[in-house]
Each structure stands twice: as C-alpha cells, then as structure tokens.
C-alpha cells in the first residue's frame, strides 16, 4: 500500500475550494443525523464529518500552522498505513455517496464530493476493498462488473427479444436515442429491458442499443478513480458519437446517471450536442405529452409507495415524474414514505456498498430504517426507478422475510400501457 500516494493525492486535491470547505466546518455534528449509517448504528465514526477527517488531517498538517504545531507537539500523528486502511472501511462500506449530509450542513459543506475525494486518495494508495476492486477490474477487462462480455450481451439480448417478444434494435446508425442498460438489469432484471423496449416502441422513439456502449454502470466512479471513471464513460460516449444519436438514455441506474450527466463534463471532453437523460424523465415526458397512455388505476394491489433514489431524485431532480405516473396507476392507494423526495433516506446499497460482502451487516442495519418507513406508510409494494436500489430492496426483503413487493417503475408503466 502506498500511503504517501494517498497523502499526496489529498494535497493535490486541496485547492482553494476544498480548503475553504474544510475550514468552514464548525463541528456542529448536524450532518451525523442525516446519515443513514450513523442513524442505524450510532457509531460516531460513521458521521459524515469524520469520514473526511483524513483529508482534513493531510490539509492541516501540510498547510496550516495549527496542524504543523499539533504534529510537532505530538497532539496529532502523521497519517499511517493503518489510518488509510481504517478509512477505507469507513468510506467504502459505510457511505453510499448519497449526499444527504451535504443538504443539512448549515455551512454549506459538500460532504458527498469530499468523501468522494477521500475515495480517490485511498484508491491511489491501492487500499480499495477487495470485492469492489475485483468488480472494477472485471469492468475494465471485460466491459462489465457482472461479466456482461460481448457474447453474454448478445445472448441475453437475443433471449430477452424472444422471451418477451420485443424488438431490440442494435447498433442502428441514424437512431435518435441510444439506450444503455446496467448489468444489474441485464443479468438480474431482464424483464426491465423488455418493459423499456415496449414503452419506447409505443412512444414511437427512434432508438438503438449498442454493443460497444453496452454497460452504463461505472465501478471506476464508485472506486473514486478519475482515470477509470473516464475510460468507462468514454465507451458510452464513443458509441453515441459513432451512431450519431442526439440523446443517451440511462436506464434504471442512479450512479451512472450522475457520472454521465454531471461528472463527465468536469472530467473530460463530452461530445457536443448529445443530451444525457434518465428513463424516468423520458417516461414522465411521454405521459405528459400523450405519447403513451396509461390505464387509470391499473395498479390495484394494496397501498404502494415510492422510494426516491439519491442520484435520480435528490441529485437529478426527477421527483415529480414518478409521482405523476403513480397518481395515474394508483390514484387511491399511493402513499408517501416519510421523509421523501429530496429528503429521502438512501436504501443503503448504493455507492458500491452492495458489492462489498464485508459491508453486509451495516447495509442491512441501514435498511431497517427503510423498513420502518415502509411500515408507517402501510405499503405492500415499493416502486423505484433505480435497479441498484431494487437489488438492495430485493435482497433485504428476502433477508428480513418481509411481506413487501418490489417493483421497477418502468415495468409498472409497461404493464399499464393502453393498447
């Protein structure tokens, strides 16, 4: 492990913006109560402000008189290997980068992006948890963390087309829209692919899939590696450029949406004239403009609630679209969880956490907050627009033996299409 590399990375990352953020903290502790991992365990090490402590120590020890004095007097210690390993556990296993903490900080400190910076330093030091790193390496080598190689992609798409009798246009130059699925959908929720194909067909969208840009998930982004994040996003952008599309639609994956929609522009040359949007935005637009019509009250299986995904609803702002849809599908039985919309609590499995086996106990602990919310809403079904959240919900429903159905919003829409 290269601890000095981590420290150097923290120093390089600490420009005036980061320094001003670190200096602004008053240690009020308000961010702690916003974090689902802290709420679930009460462990002070899971307080968001503590998660950026390593970055702060590197900054203070290099740039501030107080930090240098503390070091000289032995009040503070230099950063050692064990610190990097310890923070690796805290920030990869007990942070989903959900960014709720940033919303509550009275000093306006962007804790989520700062924690992401800590991930970058730890990634450069080679101290990323082994399970997450294995998934990153698989994606770099095979194109997908879940083994969706060229052959697997072709086989799965052929099978989906046959099984659900849908058309899946592939590598169509001249299409308007490139649709990129996540490997979670390809391998675990293939019915989502069929549902989205059905909706796009009904709306008359001129769309295509791409073998080259076949995976939207970005494990380099979870890892915090700018280099690998760019390479993975580049595969999608290159495919979009080659096909000449005007729009990239990210399907049910929140982090991929964050990466392609916002992060990319700060990291690399993104192709001009190509809009990046999310499937839930497209569904909302289709319903609003009448391009698809849904059967009123099509959902009639008890109370239903909606789980807001951190990157799609809080970050992406697509809060109203799912509600507009659910008010059509379940006009009398849609119930909100509390808190909801941008204040919603993360499912606990995002940010790569679900890929790390050692994080299972804390991931389940965080989900107990969600169980409480579902119960209070009296919901029998939870709908959502992120397949990573859905994976966490499906796993936790099984783990806790809950009598709750988990539903993808696109599938609900596809099932309710008016002929």
Minimum CB separation from ligand SF4 for residue 29, in Å?
A: 5
The structure tokens listed for 186 are 């390809």
Q: According to CB under 6 A, which residues from 46 to 85 bind ligand SF4?
A: 48-49, 51
42 binds ligand SF4, rule: CB under 6 A: no
409 binds ligand SF4, rule: CB under 6 A: no
> Distance (Å, rounded) from C-alpha 87 to C-alpha 232?
26
Name the residue with tokens 């009598």: 403
Binding test (CB under 6 A) with ligand SF4, winner from 40, 54, 79, 98:
98
Residues 407 and 384 sit within 8 Å (Cβ to Cβ): yes
The structure tokens listed for 89 are 């556990």
26 binds ligand SF4, rule: CB under 6 A: yes
CA 10 to chain centre: 24
Minimum CB separation from ligand SF4 for residue 25, in Å?
A: 3
> Distance (Å, rounded) from C-alpha 412 to C-alpha 325?
9
CB of 44 or CB of 378, closer to ligand SF4: 44
Binding test (CB under 6 A) with ligand SF4, winner from 95, 197, 287, 326:
95
96 binds ligand SF4, rule: CB under 6 A: yes
349 binds ligand SF4, rule: CB under 6 A: no
CB of 94 or CB of 416, closer to ligand SF4: 94
Q: According to CB under 6 A, which residues from 99 to 138 bind ligand SF4?
A: 99-101, 105, 107, 109, 111-112, 115
> Distance (Å, rounded) from C-alpha 371 to C-alpha 262?
31
Minimum CB separation from ligand SF4 for residue 48, in Å?
A: 4
Name the residue with tokens 């790569």: 352
27 binds ligand SF4, rule: CB under 6 A: yes
Q: Vertex 411, ends 409 and 417: CA angle to 5°?
A: 105
The structure tokens listed for 164 are 């659900």
414 binds ligand SF4, rule: CB under 6 A: no
The structure tokens listed for 410 are 């696109």
Residues 337 and 343 sit within 8 Å (Cβ to Cβ): no
**DSSP code string of 313-365:** IITT-TTHHHHHHHHHH-TTTB---SS-GGGPPP-S-TTTGGG-GGGHHHHHH
92 binds ligand SF4, rule: CB under 6 A: no
Minimum CB separation from ligand SF4 for residue 123, in Å?
A: 16
CB of 58 or CB of 287, closer to ligand SF4: 58
Three-state secondary-structure class, residue 276 = strand
Site residues (CB under 6 A) for ligand SF4?
25-31, 34-35, 37, 48-49, 51, 95-101, 105, 107, 109, 111-112, 115, 346
């Amino acid at each position: 492990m290269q601890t000095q590399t981590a420290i150097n990375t923290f120093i390089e990352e600490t420009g005036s913006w980061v320094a001003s953020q670190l200096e602004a903290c008053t240690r009020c502790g308000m961010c702690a109560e916003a974090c689902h991992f802290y709420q679930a365990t009460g462990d002070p090490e899971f307080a968001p402000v503590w998660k950026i402590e390593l970055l702060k120590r590197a900054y203070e020890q290099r740039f501030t008189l107080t930090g240098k004095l503390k070091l000289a007097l032995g009040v503070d210690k230099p950063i050692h290997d064990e610190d990097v390993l310890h923070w690796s556990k805290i920030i990869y296993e007990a942070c989903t980068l959900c960014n709720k903490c940033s919303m509550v900080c009275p000093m306006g400190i962007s804790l989520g992006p700062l924690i992401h910076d800590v991930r970058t330093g730890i990634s450069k030091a080679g101290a990323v948890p082994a399970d997450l790193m294995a998934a990153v390496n698989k994606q770099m080598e095979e194109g997908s963390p879940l083994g969706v190689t060229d052959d697997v992609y072709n086989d799965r798409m052929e099978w989906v087309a046959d099984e659900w009798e849908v058309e899946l246009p592939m590598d169509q130059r001249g299409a308007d829209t490139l649709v990129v699925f996540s490997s979670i959908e390809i391998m675990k929720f293939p019915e989502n692919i069929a549902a989205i194909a059905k909706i796009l067909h009904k709306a008359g969208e001129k769309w295509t899939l791409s073998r080259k840009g076949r995976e939207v998930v970005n494990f380099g982004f979870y890892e915090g590696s700018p280099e690998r994040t760019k390479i993975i996003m580049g595969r999608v952008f290159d495919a979009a450029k080659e096909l000449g599309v005007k729009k990239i639609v990210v399907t049910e994956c929140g982090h991929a949406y964050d990466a392609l929609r916002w992060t990319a522009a700060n990291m690399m040359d993104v192709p001009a004239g190509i809009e990046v949007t999310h499937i839930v935005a497209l569904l909302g637009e289709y319903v609003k403009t009448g391009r698809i019509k849904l059967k009123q009250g099509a959902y009639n299986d008890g109370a239903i609630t909606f789980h807001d995904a951190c990157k799609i609803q809080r970050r992406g702002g697509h809060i109203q679209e799912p509600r507009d849809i659910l008010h059509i599908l379940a006009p009398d039985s849609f119930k909100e969880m509390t808190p909801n919309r941008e204040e919603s609590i993360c499912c606990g499995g995002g940010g790569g956490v679900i890929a790390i086996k050692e994080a299972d106990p804390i991931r389940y602990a965080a989900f107990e907050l969600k169980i409480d919310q579902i119960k209070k809403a009296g919901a029998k079904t939870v709908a959502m627009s992120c397949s990573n959240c859905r994976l966490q919900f499906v796993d936790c429903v099984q783990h806790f033996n809950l009598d709750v159905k988990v539903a993808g919003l696109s599938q609900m829409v596809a099932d309710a299409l008016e002929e």
